[in-house]
Structure formats: C-alpha cells, structure tokens
Amino acid sequence: MYRLYINGEFKDSSEKERIINPATGEVVAEVAVASVRDAAAAIQAARNAFDKGPWAKLSFDERKAFLLKIAQGILDKAGELAKLETLNNGKPIKESTFMDIPSAAKTFEHFANNFAGYLQSERIDLSDSNAESKILREPLGVAVLIVPWNYPLLISCWKLAQALAAGNTVVLKPSSLTPLTALELAKIIHEVGLSYGVVNIINGSGTRIGEALCADKRVDLVSFTGSNEVGKQIIGYCAKYAKKLIMELGGKSANIVLKDADLEAAVNGSLCSIFLNQGQMCTAMSRIFVEDAIYDRFASEFVSKAKKIKLGPGMDYETQMGPLISKEQRDKVIGFIEKAKKEGTKLLCGGKIPEDPQFKNGFFLEPAVLTDVTPDMGIFKEEVFGPVACISRFVNLEEAIELANNSDFALAACIWTQNKTTAENLGKKINAGTIWVNTYGMFYNEVPYGGFKQSGFGKELGREGFWEYTRLKSLVIDKSKDAKPLVNYWYGF
C-alpha cells in the first residue's frame, strides 16, 4: 500500500485506487488517493518550508549534499525501481533499467554538481550614473510539478532536481496511472532527511486535484508536462494569480530522411523514433518524410523490420515493445488508425490487437505503418501517442521543409543525411525546439529542451531550464558618499 507524502509524513487517505499492470491487467499495488484537502495540506507544507524553513536559505553546497544523496538513493534501489516502472507503465525492462532509472539519478547529480555558479548574483556598473545594480537570482518559492505517465520517474526527477537545486519547495503530482516510482522516490527523499515539507508527493487524478493544486494562491510556479488539452486548462487555472508556468506539451514531430542518408542507420533510427516506449513519447517522430529517390527502399525495409519487433510483457528481457498504458489509450490509438484508413491512407502493417492468447489480458497493439498520408488528414495533424508511423515522400528540400513545418506543434525533428552542412542548414529552417541529426532521443542534462507553438513554452534542462525555476531581482544602490542622492532634492524640501 502506497501512501501520500505530505510534510515529512506518509499519510493514508479515505480513498484508494488499484494500479494495473498493463501487460496482464493484474493489480500491482494499491495507492492512497489525495483529496482536495490533502492537496491544500501539501501546498501549505511546501509554503511553510519555503517561508520559514531552512531549505531556501541553505548554501548551494549544503543543498548539493542532499541532492547527491537522493541520486545515490535512486542508484541503490535501481533494480527495484526499474522493475516497478515496467510493471506499472509496461515499458520493456531494458528501457527502465538502462535509460529511465540511471538517467533519473544522473539528473540529480548533474544539477547538484554543476549549478552553483548559476545562482550567483551579478554586480552591474552603470557607467553614466551614480548608482550600481546587483542582480540577484532567487528561487521562485512553491513549485507544483505535474508529470505524465510515459516517463514517470525520469520526468519527475528532471523537475525535482532543477526545482530543488534552485532552492524551491515542491508538491509533485505523478499521473494517477503511474504513481509508484514517484512514491518510492518519496521514501528515498524521506531517508535522505530533507526538512519537512520541502518535498511533498501526492497521487490523485488531475480532474480531482489538478485545479486545487494549480489555482492556489500559495503556489508560485506550475511546471507541467502532459497533453495540450490539459496544459491549456492549467493555463486557465493559473491566470487568476498570473503564475509562472513551464509547459511541456504534445508533439507531431517530423523525421526527414534525405537520399544521401546511411539507409540502414536511418531505418533503424526511424523505427526507434516512433516505436520506442510503444510510441508513447512526446517527441515521437510520427511523420516520416523520405526523399523520393530512396522512398521505396526505405518503406520496404521499415515495414519489414516493424513486423519483426517483438511484442511481449515488459518484464521479459527479450521484449522490444510492451503494452500501451491502458485499454482507453489503445482504443484511442486504434480509433486514429481506423479514421486514417477511412481518410484514404494505406495500412502496410500492424495496427491490430495481437491474436496470441498470451496477450489477451494486456493492452498490446502491433506497430502500425501507414502510407499515402496527406497534410489534410487527421493522422497528419493530431498527436496519436502510440505506435503509428506515417510515411510520406518528398521531392526536394523545400517540400520537406514545408511538410515538416506544416503542424500546430513544434517540439522536435530528426534529419538523416551524411552531409553535415545540409543538416545544419535544414535544421535552421525546421520549426522545432530540438533537432536530432542522424540520431534520435538523445537528451542531455546540459541541453535545454522544450517546444514552440502548441508544444508549449519554457525550457526543461540545461542552464535555461534551471533558470526557469528561479526569478531575477534587481537591487539598485545609490553610491553617493559626500553628496546626497538626487532624489533627496526632488521636491526642494
């Protein structure tokens, strides 16, 4: 039984919910569900910890020691956390073990080890004035962190590491579909001995406690990663008190394959870019644009490899694609495929619930490849968030740019070419926050990440991401020693 973590205590709640293993439909754990009162208690705890507690006043090095202990705590429990992430989310255990969990620990280490300098104040000499200015960089205060279900621990740790390193106190709300690793993290954080209320972690659906968390006057910042639709609701909740927001929303990313690409690398990379994590990635390259000269070879190799992807329960080390997160999500994805077929696309493979009886209680779906997709179709425009690749052809770079930029989203893109200059020139013309060349999905703690247009605003990671969790304050100091400052004489008294 997992409980809520509020003000340094693990608390029960009157309501509980069962967490389901998407590979089997079996119950993995029971979790306490926060009420609106619990949300308010968590905010108050974070508020008290920020206003009256030591956390924000500690030196960076003192905070650093705590962050490094959290990183170590994650590493000490890495095997257990990886298993739990896979049981809860369905992703292959290889991904949880080698990507999600170690990257989560690394993010804490990175912001602990490298960011002392980014909180320093700066003195500015005002040459034509008798004053000087000091720019202070301060924590914002209480941060509400809202996280989706596709990378439950990793995205929680991105937000927590940055917010805590900067000196904020937080209330973290994982997705109610995947709260387990965040609630395990609460135990690690408790053992590390952070003062009470610095970190509060509560499970509950967004419809139940989302507004209470975001609209509350005691909250200074909401950092949200999730869907476009919910992001816009949150912007609405935060409008009354004009809160600082970080919005990491959905995507409809473009994968551009040029005729001079290393074909094998481009096919394999493109498969990863849409089928990893069952296609449930904000940066999923759901629109693949291939140059005419290599289109047929690319499409035939892509389809033949997509058919070979091994479906299975995430806990099996041989599994390459696990189940989708829920039956609702699978129904939604199948709905997109059916609509696309009616709109005139051609389904080259997959898109079906596998017939093998071993999959019958899970939410599996065979990876789908569609062609003949045109910009007027729903499948071209809307985020599917599942294993559905759409391949289209282009004849020249101008057309590739036009197709890629023909989207309301602008989160990420991939370019496959052996010509570095072409890649850089093309990269400048693609409207997306992150552009990978001859690779996919490489996130670095050093590199700011975040989209444009309907993909949101604000950055996560890097120096700029860290600074999103801070505020700037300007002190202007009159330097007059002998004479009195000018304002003294203004009224002539």
Shortest Å, Cβ 231 to ligand NAD: 7
| C-alpha–C-alpha distance, residues 447 and 462, integer Å | 5
Does residue 211 carry a catalytic annotation? no
DSSP structural state of residue 52: T
CA torsion 216→178→311→383, rounded to 10°? -10
- Beta strands at 131-139 and 470-478: parallel, antiparallel or unpaired: antiparallel
Around Cβ 396, how many Cβ atoms within 10 Å? 10
Return the number of the residue (50 or 237) whose C-beta is nearest ligand NAD.
Answer: 237
> How far apart are CB 87 and ligand NAD at their closest, in Å?
18
CB 348 within 8 A of CB 370: yes
Residue 248 annotated among the catalytic residues of the structure: yes
Name the amino acid, one letter, at 166: A
For residue 93, what are its two tokens? 């255990």
Which one is catalytic: 248, 301, 460, 468? 248
Q: How far is the CB of 482 from ligand NAD (least distance, A)?
A: 56
**Tokens of residue 393, six digits:** 């052809």
Rounded to whole angstroms, the Cα distance separating 23 from 330 reads 12
Specify the residue, 21 or 225, whose C-beta has the smaller distance to ligand NAD.
225
Complex with ligand NAD: residue 113 or 326, whichever CB lies closer: 326
Residues that bind ligand NAD (CB under 6 A): 146-150, 173, 175-176, 205-207, 210-211, 214, 225-227, 230, 233-234, 248-251, 282, 383, 385, 411, 451, 456
Q: Which residues pair with 437 in a beta bridge?
A: 415
- Whose Cβ is closer to ligand NAD: residue 42's or residue 249's? 249
250 versus 322: smaller Cβ distance to ligand NAD: 250
Q: 314: which DSSP letter?
A: T
Catalytic choice (238, 282, 390, 414): 282
CB of 451 to ligand NAD, least distance (A): 6
Min dist CB 476 to ligand NAD, Å, is 38
**Tokens 């629109």 belong to which residue?**
287
Measuring CA to CA, which residue among 356, 365, 363 is closest to residue 388?
365
Q: Give CA torsion, residues 411, 88, 175, 390, to 10 deg.
A: 30
Enzyme catalytic residues: 248, 282
